[in-house]
Structure 1
């Protein structure tokens, strides 16, 4: 049977090209997503700042909670979960003495870390300030000059400064002038270091707290044993011991969050891509089986059993898959590297987190592709090989085999599943829950289209026959009759086009739906005339408040916090004259952020069961628990986040306690505000603020577009692939039409008309799928059934689908006619 499969492949090579292309692309997609997933699971971050110190003591960079589940019979199962913090955790300074007292510790090096940027210095990475006593942790060594004293700084080798220069340094305390006392011989990639005197660093950092303690082992001390001893000495304290690559995870606090995001992104994209790949491969093999209907029927007529046919077709699929899967997996490695570089450019993948390239993703992708090929071939051939031998030849000549009852029932079941998913989606109010369901809903509707497509194509062709016959005469009549007779072929063409239109519109318009709703919230809730944007110290905010005509200047600082296990976007706002700059749409209570008062969105309040006056505990980004009181519940959570907190509370628990924006109300003009703000800060009016917000939203949407663009590209390739296969197989039919007197122009008109009908029908169905899915998504996420459809983008989607269909249909048709 294997020999027969090989001979079949050689004799019908062109018929298997489409399946080969589909499987190759599927393997490449799964490999690329697997690389992202593998990086999230096993990616390491080598230390830089802490590379010279084998043992580091710092705060726990994860938040932990324990859940209990009653299993009955008095047995309770407890499970501990943890998630990475979004900010740096600090530890008490008195832990240094406890660590220093451990036998085998020769010395300890304490460190504080705070934002410090030399204004005008080269480089676009992060810049942090430290006390010079922590320089040996890397180690940093002086190339020129001396240790800093009060009013002095030491800069790294990339600063471009020289000993004796005077520089201006931006810290949370404002902009200050410092003399450069020395330049280090060392510089790190992607981050700059500014060293202050010990007293100055303590003043600029958190009083009585440290970010890290470096442990210097005594000569001859076993590092592993010393780490265990330090760990034991710190039992019951906030300190945690870090060694090896864990020092890199401590140093780059965003690395763990990025790994979690890569895991969820790689899993979600890979799962969606695999579903789409299976759908496309099944459709490709189904078209191939239709094209081989006469051949299979002949084999059945001369005595081949269904079991033998299944074995033959399965082995053919495995042979094609065995060729396509390794090539696709290899191509997927390059695709994964490209994805990693794009995500790195967009800030999703930190510079310090190396992409993991291992054999596992290609191997898994190749095996998954082989399995998909085998299953797709067996499913596609099911109806063909069950033809009775006595009916085989007559059936093979039939142009319009019946659609099986099982297929109709499966299609109706898919429709029912799509309806259920739409109902579920319309009730989901959080993006982590709604995102996967959104794309699953679109895929289920496409599955329904692929199953019921022949019935739909036949019905449309029947209705269009008189219209096309009148409008386009012979060409239109032939197109309508052919579409009706070859409903399965028409359905196999409509499905990938409908998938292309529906999935592309869904992927592109989910971000615009959310972005439009968030922009509406901000537009309605922002009362300020101007926005000062940048890193704004409190001293500058006070200077802005002193400008004549300014009635309110609200400092704003964003962060991410947890209430219980739930993660929320939060915003710190200064309380003075707050209601003159911000209106979050209060529905209950009085909007006040004085003291320990906080406002919470109606969505978060419902989730947590909170009312005005209730107390609740917030886990800040650095892991510190803060108890607050609900002062108000508001409705505009898409624009303002789920929690509005007092600005001092947020500033005390973030790595960069500088306001990201200051909202300014009053009659002051922009020139006066720019003078008060100083260089490096932008003063934006309402329109400019909206433009900046749209640009930021576009950057976030680009991440999702690149991630889901694989599916769009695969859908486009599948559409071209299927159309080209369908057209190339019609050489005999086109030759017969020419023999009976049909002109070349009439044949081409028939092909163009068939393509136009397929494109229009696919556009209608694909648009319907996208609109239904996006409407349900918008209902749940924004509270209004208003999807963010952009007509220009939609026209490009449909136009692109039409162009691809024309290229894949008319061009092969012209080639086939030239051979006549």
Structure 2
């Protein structure tokens, strides 16, 4: 058996090359996604600012929920909060009481000099020992208007002792450099103020960001019992120092899992289609084996061993290629700010091994499924079956296709009821894939129906069109195999692209329609500057806007904090119930989507956790319609600003803004936000689109190359090369039209449900962009058909016929 397998692979290199490429790409994609997921699960960040403190105490960065299940089983869940949690300053005394030494408290707040890239934080000089920072020149800040800057900041801005520089923060001001440190941190700038000035700028009286100490972790944790605090040691101190990196790590888990799951589903579909086409092309060969007494088990075993051989070659190579692919993804995500520079990938043997194994299993399973019918036919029917296409689908395939079709309908209905992107995005991809699987299973039926319609206009064209119609009608199964990857690529590409445009355009439209102010300044305008703008001549109203994320239970909700004075002149939230004028520090307004999910309305109390972990119970005063443009919740500005890391935000200005103040339109600000979110999804899902494009080329090239004998017979019958190329051109056009219509239908069904749930409207599909998607598929199909055909026709017709015989 092994000798037959090796001989088959050796003599059918072109057919097996397509399966090899599909498996290699699948393994690379799954490996890269696995590395992202593994990084999310086990990735860590080394401490920098807290490197000199053996023990670091911070506020609890999680919201916790405990539920008692059946039989008394307790289940605990925790979700990360959006901002930095603060500690009461009195916790330092409890740490000292636990026997800790070198206890140091610190406050940290956003503060920048110039426009350098990366994070920049202000601190009190007393916390310099946490790194430790030491002075290279000058002295510690002694008065309010003095600062010490780190070596990198001094070098980048040309600062030295005695220089005066403006520091941007929640309360910007001009300071004199009293000292420069020897040290500089890799991923963040440090600006040190006097202790009193740092506490004033931080804006959290009686609170500290962290406590560093030397002592027993267990003793310190025991002393802090009853305080919402977490004790960190070793590498865990990096999580305390970089809460943003921790949140990114958690996002990688969901992103890697969703992307990896989608990639695996697409890979299985593509690989199955490739092997199905390969087995179709070998029906005569397999039929001959059955005719000479090969049993179905032997045929399945032969095909399984062929697939295993290809999988063993492609799986490890693809897994190895997945490692640099993961690093490429990391660099792209870092460039978009979705992944911090100090969170490195975790590269362990597990993802490559799992990806290689998945490729092998997918190959063997796909070959077994593809060979099921051919291996079971009776020997006496074998040769006839190879020569004649079955008139109808088998009962098993028909039932499977109808069941998958029903599943696609159910998923689409479910998608229409999902109102958050986190819930809707994976279901959107899954729905598009399931629709494509249904089309693949029922493909021959769809192909016959489509050919019956297209055959009429095709036969109007002599020779080329007539031959194309005849070939398409006789090869419904082959046509279905070719259509499936092109349908998948068209449907997935359109779904991915236009799901983003649907939410992005809806958000921009709502923000534009709801922003009454003619000018928007931002995004980091401090409260003092907003007050100056408010007093400027020609300004009729100013609304300060700060944004954050809160949790209701464990669910995330975007929230904006607004100043209510003059709100009616700058912002229209499309209030449906209640009155936004009643908004104050004890109340909140909710969007219609959030109100539906939370089952609240005007007069109800909404219990939530603010961005820094502070619980709040707010009265609902209004329900508004423009949640995509302005956030699910709207709260009082001062309430929200007191619980975010950076209280600076955008400013909406009605009237004439002061001269020299840079402003943008509301549409531009909303578009920038939507584009930043969309680009991350485009990069991640673009790999899957590229994979499906490779599958399209693979399948079409395999199908055309296998027709060398058919093309040779046509040439012996007197058909010219030009007529054959025209025939193939008409066939390709028919394939593109059928796949384009199927892919468009799949995308429209999915996007309509997505839009109904997310925007309560219809999908946003730019016609030219969608035509571009179909044109890209047409170009791939044309190239993958024309090149193999020209190569096949280089040989003399008699030689080609003889070789196939």
Residues 622 and 653, structure 1, Cα contact 8 Å, conserved in 2: yes
In the alignment, does 2:125 pair up with 1:132?
yes
Partner of 2:149: 155
Residues 36 and 252, structure 2, Cα contact 8 Å, conserved in 1: yes
Residues 55 and 232, structure 2, Cα contact 8 Å, conserved in 1: yes
Residues 592 and 624, structure 2, Cα contact 8 Å, conserved in 1: yes
Partner of 2:569: 580
> d(CA) in 2 for partners of 1:63 and 1:456?
51
Which of 343, 349, 352 is 2:339 aligned to?
349
**What is the CA deviation profile of residues 524-573 of structure 1, one whole-angstrom value per residue up to 9, with x for unaligned ones?**
21111110113111111111011122121010000000112221000010
Residues 53 and 214, structure 2, Cα contact 8 Å, conserved in 1: yes
Aligned pairs (5 A) from 1:416-495: 416-470=406-460, 472-495=461-484
In the alignment, does 2:617 pair up with 1:627?
yes
Residues 525 and 585, structure 1, Cα contact 8 Å, conserved in 2: yes
Aligned pairs (5 A) from 1:61-80: 61-69=61-69, 71=70, 75-80=71-76
- Unaligned regions of 5+ residues in structure 2, if any? 797-805
> d(CA) in 2 for partners of 1:123 and 1:187?
14
In the alignment, does 2:295 pair up with 1:324?
no
> d(CA) in 2 for partners of 1:446 and 1:627?
47
> d(CA) in 1 for partners of 2:752 and 2:383?
49
Which of 188, 195, 199 is 1:198 aligned to?
195
**What is the CA deviation profile of residues 297-345 of structure 1, one whole-angstrom value per residue up to 9, with x for unaligned ones?**
0000000000111111111100110000000000111111101110111
Aligned pairs (5 A) from 1:22-61: 22-61=22-61
> d(CA) in 2 for partners of 1:691 and 1:639?
12
For residue 463 of structure 2, give the secondary structure of its aligned residue in structure 1: helix
For residue 73 of structure 2, give the secondary structure of its aligned residue in structure 1: strand
Partner of 2:701: 724
Partner of 2:97: 101
Aligned pairs (5 A) from 1:79-118: 79-103=75-99, 105-118=100-113
Report the Cα offset of residue 102 of structure 1: 2.3
**Which is worse superposed, 617-626 or 294-303?**
617-626
Partner of 1:512: 501
Partner of 2:802: none
Report the Cα offset of residue 400 of structure 1: 5.2
Residues 400 and 487, structure 1, Cα contact 8 Å, conserved in 2: no
> d(CA) in 1 for partners of 2:228 and 2:449?
71
- Residues 535 and 695 of structure 1: CA distance in aligned 2, closer, same or farther (over 3 Å): closer
> d(CA) in 2 for partners of 1:88 and 1:756?
58
Residues 411 and 451, structure 1, Cα contact 8 Å, conserved in 2: yes
**Which is worse superposed, 757-766 or 195-204?**
195-204
Partner of 1:804: 780
- Residues 564 and 538 of structure 1: CA distance in aligned 2, closer, same or farther (over 3 Å): same
> d(CA) in 2 for partners of 1:34 and 1:737?
49
> d(CA) in 2 for partners of 1:539 and 1:444?
55
Residues 629 and 670, structure 2, Cα contact 8 Å, conserved in 1: no
Residues 509 and 667, structure 2, Cα contact 8 Å, conserved in 1: no
For residue 152 of structure 2, give the secondary structure of its aligned residue in structure 1: coil
**Which is worse superposed, 145-154 or 454-463?**
454-463
Which of 166, 169, 179 is 1:168 aligned to?
166
Which of 290, 299, 304 is 2:280 aligned to?
290
Report the Cα offset of residue 424 of structure 1: 1.4
Residues 291 and 379, structure 2, Cα contact 8 Å, conserved in 1: yes
> d(CA) in 2 for partners of 1:278 and 1:166?
63
Report the Cα offset of residue 127 of structure 1: 1.2
Residues 57 and 241, structure 1, Cα contact 8 Å, conserved in 2: yes
In the alignment, does 2:359 pair up with 1:363?
no
Partner of 2:801: none
> d(CA) in 2 for partners of 1:462 and 1:453?
14
> d(CA) in 1 for partners of 2:323 and 2:486?
28
Which of 663, 679, 701 is 1:683 aligned to?
663
Report the Cα offset of residue 691 of structure 1: 2.7
**What is the CA deviation profile of residues 151-189 of structure 1, one whole-angstrom value per residue up to 9, with x for unaligned ones?**
21000001231001111112212x211111000001112
**Which is worse superposed, 368-377 or 200-209?**
200-209
Report the Cα offset of residue 792 of structure 1: 2.2
Partner of 1:501: 490
Partner of 1:276: 266
> d(CA) in 1 for partners of 2:709 and 2:612?
71
- Unaligned regions of 5+ residues in structure 1, if any? 218-225
- Residues 692 and 607 of structure 1: CA distance in aligned 2, closer, same or farther (over 3 Å): closer
Aligned pairs (5 A) from 1:586-735: 586-591=575-580, 592-658=582-648, 660-666=649-655, 668=656, 670=657, 672-674=658-660, 677=661, 682-684=662-664, 686=665, 689-735=666-712
Partner of 1:795: 771
Report the Cα offset of residue 593 of structure 1: 2.2
Using structure 1 for the length normalisation, give the TM-score. 0.95
**What is the CA deviation profile of residues 707-758 of structure 1, one whole-angstrom value per residue up to 9, with x for unaligned ones?**
1111100110000000000000111110011111111111111111100100
For residue 158 of structure 1, give the secondary structure of its aligned residue in structure 2: helix
**Which is worse superposed, 228-237 or 149-158?**
228-237
> d(CA) in 1 for partners of 2:585 and 2:228?
27
